[in-house]
Structure 1
Amino acid sequence: MSTQAVTHLPPTPPSEPAKMTGTVLPPSSAPLQPAHKHIWLITGPAGCGKTSVAEFLRQSLSVPYLEGDTFHTPENVKKMGEGTPLTDADRWDWLILLREEALRTLASSPDLNGVVLTCSALKRKYRDVFRVATYHNPGLRVHFVFLNVSEAILMDRVRARQNHYMKDYMVRSQFQSLEAPQQDETDVLSVEASGASVEVQKLALAVVNEAMEKDSKPV
């Protein structure tokens, strides 16, 4: 995309000929492009709608989507299938792998400005693993789209799932581990996720678009 400003003529008054003023559209009207590359992490406990939101953002933003659960080791999947909560040690290599996969995906094309990734990221130190990605990448921004919903609603949703390793009693474990984002975590975009899936998708896209607009520059 060209970065050269586009010149437009102002409207011609009825009794006055057009003047070549070289007026440039203000930034609010000019096309915008992101100033940085972005990793959009869709976070929250099991059943909050991470996959649904991630798929919607992938389609809306035309960016790749990485499903975090598919990167778990067979040992982790086996533990969760048996109802055994994962420990920090179980999660650590998985979190690092997700971060590196997101970076590799972004690096795969110079025209790619974002990637969507699902990960519960229940604890602040888990979120910090992804924040490390920005240390040596000044052109990168990491965002956590936190799907906020009550434990009772999540229990009902997970109970309705068929053939999924995440069971209702594991929701309680996740809420016990959950460290809700704090005010100083300014890269967290909170979304009310207790409503219908379509509503949550739209709310998530709205906060992502707002963040993108703040980070954009006219072209």
Structure 2
Amino acid sequence: MGARARLIVVMGVSGSGKSTIGSALGVALNVPFLDGDHYHAPEAVEKMRHGTPLTDDDRWPWFDRLAIAMKEAADQRGQSVTACSALKRSYRDYLTQAAGEPIVFLHLAGKKEIIARRQADRPGHYMPATLLDSQFEALETPAADENVITVSVADTVEAIVAEALAALAVEAKP
């Protein structure tokens, strides 16, 4: 990967473990973790809570808010890790453009059955399991020319983070 990435986005469908892995990666790197879910507009959260998928018009302002927060966190601490679905290439490209610098995307990939089980074990999350099919339909698997690391969600949190750290060519900080 060369130079140390300032902005890392943990991406994938709902229930893939973005928040769990992103938080653990942030701890391992001793840098801020931002959960993209916290940057959604209240109206967008209500749409999802009621089982309505977001439109691109719902997402663009979210990406703008997220890009600003990611950069500010990285400016303060040298690096940041963010959880964000970033399902389509156009979303990843937009987020990178809004950030104004390269982003390394850590794609958490897995079979729908595994992710559906994990989603069912998340009581109280606003994203209902009924939207999982729409998430997989929207997912554009990152292409070889994108700045992406793909890891399987089938392993433990510790193993996924270790694989991500190795791919990022960095070591965990105390």
TM > 0.5 fold call: yes
1:44 and 2:45 matched: no
> Which moved further from structure 2: 113-122 or 125-134?
125-134
Is the 2:88–2:138 Cα contact (8 Å) retained in structure 1?
A: yes
Tell me the percent identity.
36
Structure 1 length as normaliser, TM-score? 0.72
The 5 Å alignment of 1:71-150 reads 71-107=39-75, 109=76, 112-133=77-98, 135=100, 140-150=101-111
Q: What is the Cα deviation at residue 45 of structure 1?
A: 0.4
Query: Is the 1:37–1:113 Cα contact (8 Å) retained in structure 2?
Result: no
Q: Please give the per-residue CA displacement for 1:165-205, whole angstroms capped at 9, x wherever unaligned.
A: 122211111001111101111x1011111223332222222
Normalising by structure 2, what TM-score? 0.90
- Moved segments of 4+, more than 3 Å: 34-37
- C-alpha separation between the residues in 2 aligned to 1:91 and 1:190? 23
Aligned residue for 1:116, secondary structure, equals strand
Answering whether residue 164 of structure 2 is matched by residue 204 of structure 1, we say: yes
2:27 is the alignment partner of 1:66 = no
- Shifted more, 124-133 versus 193-202: the winner is 193-202
* CA root-mean-square deviation: 1.9
Task: Report the counterpart of residue 177 of structure 1 in structure 2.
Answer: 138
Contact 1:189 1:207 in 2 (8 A): yes
Structure with larger Rg? 1
1:188 is matched with which residue: 136, 141, 148? 148
1:36/1:75 CA distance change after superposition, 3 Å = same
More helix, by proportion: 2
Query: Using the alignment, how far apart are the partners of 1:71 and 1:133 within structure 2?
Result: 15
Unaligned runs of 5+ in 1: 1-33, 214-219
